[in-house]
Amino acid sequence: MNAQSTTTDRSIYFIEAMREGLRGMLTEDENVVVIGEDVGRSVIGATRGLVDDFGPMRVRNTPISEATFVGMCVGAAAVGLRPVVDLMVGSFFYVAMDQLADQAAKLRYMSGGQVTLPIVYFTASGPSGSAAAQHSENPHPMLMNVAGLKIVMPSTPYDAKGLMVSAVRDNNPVVYFQDFVLGGTRGVVPEELYSIPLGVGDIKRHGTDVTVVAIGAAVPKALRVAEVMEKEGVSVEVVDPRTLVPMDYDLILESVTRTGKLVVVDNARLTCSAASEIVATITERGFDLLTSAPQRVAWADVPVPFSPPLEERVVISDSDIVSAIRAVLA
C-alpha cells in the first residue's frame, strides 16, 4: 500500500488529496458525514464542492459551537454514524477540549470497551505566515498526552489521501492535522482509493550519517536541508512517522541503528513536544545505538507572534535543522 502507483503520475495539491480521501469515504459508506463551520463553502478547502455531490445533510454546516459539535460526534458515533469534523484551525480544539479529551477520548475506555467511536477530527494547523498566535498552533503534542486519540500528521499529498481513508475507516477517534503550509504543496497521487495504515512511518529519504525524524511541515524542510548537506558530504536519512499515535518507534530505532545519530524536528513548541517524546523513547530504548546526544528542533516556548521577523525568530527554520545536524555529527 505504501508503493507509489505506477498507473498515473498525476500531480495534485495536498488539500485536493485530502478532499479525494473524503470524497472516497463519503461514497464508500453512507454513514459517513462531514460537519463543521462552513464546510459547504470550505475556507481551507478540504471539503470544497463535496456538498454539491453529497447534499447539505451529509456535508453539514454547524453553528460556531466547537465544544458542542465535537461532543455531538461522540453520541452520534456511539449509535451508528461515522462523523468527520472539520475544525478549521488547530486552536479551535482548545474551545472543545472537554468534549475531546474527557468525552471522545475516554468513553470507550471508561465503559470497559462497550462503545466504538469512529470519528475523525481534522484541522489545518501550524504557522502559515502572520496568522498570529491563535491561528498558528499545532496542538498535536498535548493531544498525544490524551490517551484515547489516534493522531495523524501527513507531510505529502500521497500520504494525505491514504491517511484520510484510514482515519475515516478506523473505529476510533482520530485527529488529523494538516499543516497549513502543506495545503498548497503538490505531489503525485493516484486517482484510485488507497489507504496507508495508521502507525506505519515512512523513510522519505535514505541516508547513512544521521537520522532526521521530521513531522508534518518539517518534512519538506528536512528534505531540503538533506539536499544541501549532501553537497557537504553528509548523508541524511529523513524519517516521517506520519502517525504520532500510534508512533512507529521501530522504524525510527531501525534507522538509528544504522546512523547512530538522531535529530527530531517538530513544527510545535519545544516543551513536551512530539520531538521530546521521540528523543526520550529512542534514548531509553536505544541508548547504546546512539553515538552522540540527540537534538530537538522545535519552536521557542512562546506563542507564535504576528510580525514576520518575530514569527521567523520563533518557528523552525532550515538553519535550525542544519545546526542540529552539525551538533550531532560534531
Partner 1 sequence: MATQKDLDHITKDDALDMLRRMIRIRRFEEKLSVLFKRGKLPGFVHLYTGEEAIAVGACSALRDDDRITSTHRGHGHLIAKGALVNRMMAELFGRVDGYCRGKGGSMHIVSFELGIIGTNGIVGGGIPIGTGSAWADSHLGRDNVTIVFFGDGASNQGVFFESMNIASVWKLPVIFVCENNGYTEWTPTAELTAGNIVDRSAPMGIPGEAVDGNDVVAMRLAVERAVSRARAGDGPTLIEAQSYRWNGHNEGEEAFAGAYRPDAEQAEWRERDPIVAFGERLVSAGWMTRDEWDAVDADELGSVDAAVEFAEQSPFPDADEALLHLFAGDSEGVR
Contact with partner 1 (CB under 8 A) among 17, 59, 84, 107: 107
According to DSSP, residue 102 is labeled I
How many beta carbons lie within 10 A of that of residue 132, not counting itself?
13
Q: Which three cell numbers stand for residue 103?
A: 468525552
Residue whose grid cell is 498552533? 137
Residue whose grid cell is 500510534? 246
Contact with partner 1 (CB under 8 A) among 3, 6, 57, 232: 57
Q: Is 145 in the site for partner 1 (CB under 8 A)?
A: no
Q: How far is the CB of 83 from partner 1 (least distance, A)?
A: 8
Q: Is 5 in the site for partner 1 (CB under 8 A)?
A: no
Q: Is 117 in the site for partner 1 (CB under 8 A)?
A: yes
Q: How far is the CB of 82 from partner 1 (least distance, A)?
A: 10
Q: Is 67 in the site for partner 1 (CB under 8 A)?
A: yes
Rg of the chain in Å (alpha carbons): 19
Contact with partner 1 (CB under 8 A) among 59, 70, 143, 264: 70
Name which of residues 166 to 225 contact partner 1 (CB under 8 A): 170-172
Helices 157-169, 14-28: axis angle to 10 degrees equals 30
CA 60, CA 81: separation in Å to the nearest integer? 14
According to DSSP, residue 150 is labeled E
CA 32, CA 324: separation in Å to the nearest integer? 44
Q: Is 81 in the site for partner 1 (CB under 8 A)?
A: yes
Are the CB atoms for 88 and 36 separated by under 8 Å? Answer: yes
Catalytic residues: 135
CA 221, CA 65: separation in Å to the nearest integer? 35
Contact with partner 1 (CB under 8 A) among 63, 233, 284, 287: 63
Contact with partner 1 (CB under 8 A) among 116, 134, 257, 291: 116
Q: Which among 261, 255, 302 has a CA at the least distance from the CA of 136?
A: 302
Name which of residues 84 to 103 contact partner 1 (CB under 8 A): 98-99, 102-103
Q: How far is the CB of 96 from partner 1 (least distance, A)?
A: 9
Q: Which is closer to partner 1, CB of 68 or CB of 283?
A: 68
Are the CB atoms for 232 and 210 separated by under 8 Å? Answer: no
Q: Is 68 in the site for partner 1 (CB under 8 A)?
A: yes
Footprint of partner 1 (CB under 8 A): 31, 33, 57, 62-63, 65, 67-81, 98-99, 102-103, 107-118, 147-148, 150, 170-172
